[in-house]
Amino acid sequence: MKMAIVFGGASYEHEISIVSAITVKGKLESTFDLSFIFCDQDHKFYLIDSSKMKAITFSRGEHKKMGQLFMVNGGFEQRGMFGSKKYEMPILNLIHGGDGEDGTLASMFDFYSIPFIGPRKEAAMLSFDKHYTKWFAASVGVKTLPFEVLHKNDQRQLTTPYPFIIKPARLGSSIGVSIVREAQELDYALDVAFEFDEVVLIEPFISGVKEYNLAGFSARGEITYSIVEEPQKAEFLDFEKKYLDFSRSGSVEHAEVSEALVGQLRESFAKIYLPLFEGAIIRCDFFEIEGEVYLNEVNPIPGSMANYLFDNFSGSVQKLLGALPYKKAIRVNYDYIHSISSAKGK
């Protein structure tokens, strides 16, 4: 079965995407006939030889010596002096952050009628901005922590009591995230966050809170859930730890939790997933506070596709590929214009 992995993108998470693609290659290459399509920071696409799928290929700019691709109806095209070659196959969208998770590529894939695994544009828009994710979760009955929103030019007057956590609204991988415990730390933490986004979220920081990760997808009306993971960390995963975390390919242990809690986590996951995220493998990160489940964030394109949470990752990808949503084609026959012309005798 053929499939292409698209990765890179113009994003602060560009390098994370490269790490994810290399990891997913190792998990899927024995099952799929894979192609690798790299999107550089200038939005140029390159077909990467499988043997060159190494981080140093991109840091040295060696990808620029490889064949450039152009998006066309149904897939990608490589053009040359003596003709062109078309690559028509489903896509695994593995671009983290901007381009991949903000709906840009989803819109392009829809526009060019290219089947793909990944969030559709509506899901991307609601999950890419943490502020909108809060609204969405509330609309489907999933609890989240209280929050404040601060824009770059707002006065820095907050009502959330210390300690709290500051997050750029439209960024992942813990980039720009800080825990603020006292007033003298506030300005620096905000300056750091505003380097990456003009909007930030402020949430109460709860030390020692239980955290659980759950991934999954829907195919033919049935949700396939991953195991529940309890991430092991001191307070939160910073960028460096998440960078290493995204290269995970080994399995992890199922969290020691009750069946009742697993049921709560799955129920919240289903409310978030259906029907908005159909066609994507997502990971939801939850808090458990006094027996209640709270959504922390939605990862619409999780690091390395959360492969380590699935007992059979390649089988899961195959299952989803066989049940991708397709945008209905609209056929224009100009009946209205013809009827107007006929009425006018023209």
pTM, whole model, 2 decimals? 0.90
The CATH code belonging to domain 148-204 is: 3.30.1490.20
Query: Average model confidence (pLDDT) for the chain?
Result: 92
Q: How far apart are CA 66 and CA 44, in angstroms?
A: 12
Q: How far apart are CA 283 and CA 226, in angstroms?
A: 9
Rounded average pLDDT over 265-269: 98
Look at the domain 2-119 and name its fold.
Rossmann fold (3.40.50)
Which pLDDT value is given to residue 342?
A: 81
Which pLDDT value is given to residue 341?
A: 80
Q: Which CATH superfamily is domain 125-141+207-321 in?
A: ATP-grasp fold, B domain (3.30.470.20)
Q: For the segment 39-50, what is each residue's pLDDT rounded down to a tens digit?
A: 999 999 999 999
Q: What is the 3-state secondary structure (H, E, C) of the chain?
A: CEEEEEEECCCCCHHHHHHHHHHHHHHHCCCCEEEEEEECCCCCEEEECHHHCCHHHHHCCHHHHCCEEEEECCEEEEEECCEEEEECCCEEECCCCCCCCCCHHHHHHHHCCCCEECCCHHHHHHHHCHHHHHHHHHHCCCCECCCEEEECCCCCCCCCCCCEEEEECCCCCCCCCEEECCHHHHHHHHHHHHCCCCEEEEEECCCCCEEEEEEEEEECCEEEEEEEECCCCCCCCCHHHHHHHCCCCCCCCCCCCCHHHHHHHHHHHHHHHCCCCCCCCEEEEEEEECCEEEEEEEECCCHHHHHHHCCCHHHHHHHHHCCCCCCCCCCCCCHHHHHHHHHCCC
Q: How far apart are CA 35 and CA 1, in angstroms?
A: 11
Residue 81 has pLDDT above 90, yes or no: no
Per DSSP, what are the bridge partners of residue 69?
Answer: 45, 78
Q: For the segment 288-307, what is each residue's pLDDT rounded down to a tens digit?
A: 999 999 999 999 999 999 99
Which pLDDT value is given to residue 248?
A: 63
Q: For the segment 158-179, what is each residue's pLDDT rounded down to a tens digit?
A: 999 999 999 998 877 678 899 9
Q: In the structure encoding, which two tokens stand for residue 148, read together?
A: 């404040």
Residue 177's identity, in one-letter code, is V
Domains 2-119 and 125-141+207-321 fall in the same CATH topology: no
Residue 252 has pLDDT above 70, yes or no: yes
Which pLDDT value is given to residue 149?
A: 94
Q: How far apart are CA 147 and CA 166, in angstroms?
A: 10
Q: How far apart are CA 6 and CA 71, in angstroms?
A: 12
Say which range, 30-34, 172-176, 268-272, has the weakest mean pLDDT: 172-176
- Domain boundaries defined on the chain: 2-119, 125-141+207-321, 148-204
Which pLDDT value is given to residue 198?
A: 93
CA within 13 Å, CB half, 296: 23
**pLDDT higher for 128 or 345?**
128
- From residue 291, how far is each of 42, 144, 261, 288 by CA, in Å? 47, 14, 8, 6
